[in-house]
Amino acid sequence: MPRYEVPPDFEGLSNEEAIDLAGAFIRRYIELVLEQLERDLANLDKLELYDQLVLRARWWKYIDLLISAGEAMNKYDALAGELDLIAQTYGDQLGLPAQSLSADIANRLEWYKNRIAKDYERAVKRGINLHTITSAIEQIFLMEWRYLRVDERYGVKIRPQKSETIEGTTYTIDFVVASPDQKLKLAIELDGHDFHEKTKQQATRDRARERKIVRQGYPLFRFTGSEVVENPRKCVEEVVDFLSGRGRGES
């Protein structure tokens, strides 16, 4: 990300001059961000898929941070927020205490935040390592699934790389999702290659395999690698719709 030094202070400036200087800083920073974005786009085709995913994630994280910053500023619209903002900015000069979290509470909040993040990371890595998930798209799908806490919310369990013997042949299904009583179960297949990249024979084998899985009693969801990479949440939520009854026509 671009780096641009913030002026050390605005002391000695009039209100108009200070706001004008803030505008100049914001405009220049945005210019630097857009320049970096253009460089990343120009070099995208030269990168490996992993590096492309990193760039994609970085820019979407940047959007998240911008949205979060905008939402954080909304609290200063009310009178209490205005007073807090004045106290934070000019508290030392005016002898006002900043109305922020105490150091002890702020540290405790940080601890909880880190614990949640660590628990999520541990759950994802455990699933990836335990089931030897080497496919990037399967890892992305599992990360989104864990992030949305689908198992906990709908009382199911996702099983990666599940082996099933169907009509005398053992198949490894990318993900099987089932309730504890097995009354609800479904299969999820992620295709690392778009359909047009397959040979006719490969496509025929895949379709025959899918029919066997369905005959075994599994509703089957298939997503292409492009779908997962571009919008993993949409893919997971399509499965969630089924789990919640919307995909089964239940009221």
pLDDT of residue 2: 54
pLDDT of residue 185: 87
pLDDT of residue 203: 67
Instruction: Decide: helix, strand or coil at residue 36.
Output: helix
Per-residue pLDDT of the chain (251 residues; tens, 9 = 90+): 555 555 545 566 788 888 888 888 888 889 999 999 999 999 999 988 888 999 999 999 989 888 888 888 887 787 777 777 777 776 666 665 555 555 676 777 788 888 999 999 998 999 899 888 988 999 999 999 999 999 999 999 999 988 877 777 777 889 999 998 888 889 999 986 554 455 667 667 777 777 878 877 788 999 988 899 999 999 999 999 998 885 455 54
pLDDT of residue 5: 53
Class of domain 134-248: alpha beta
Name the pairing type of β-strands 157-166 and 220-224: unpaired
pLDDT of residue 177: 94
Domain boundaries, the chain: 15-100, 101-130, 134-248
pLDDT of residue 81: 73
Give the span between the Cα atoms of 225 and 52, in whole angstroms. 14
Full DSSP string of 68-116: HHHHHHHGGGSHHHHHHHHHHHHHHHHT----S--HHHHHHHHHHHHHH
Instruction: Decide: helix, strand or coil at residue 11.
Output: coil
pLDDT of residue 195: 45
Of 31, 2, 8, 7, nearest to 21 by C-alpha is 7
Mark residue 149 as left, alpha or beta (left: phi above 0; alpha: psi -120 to 50; beta: remaining).
left
Of 154, 122, 140, nearest to 227 by C-alpha is 140
Give the span between the Cα atoms of 238 and 188, in whole angstroms. 11
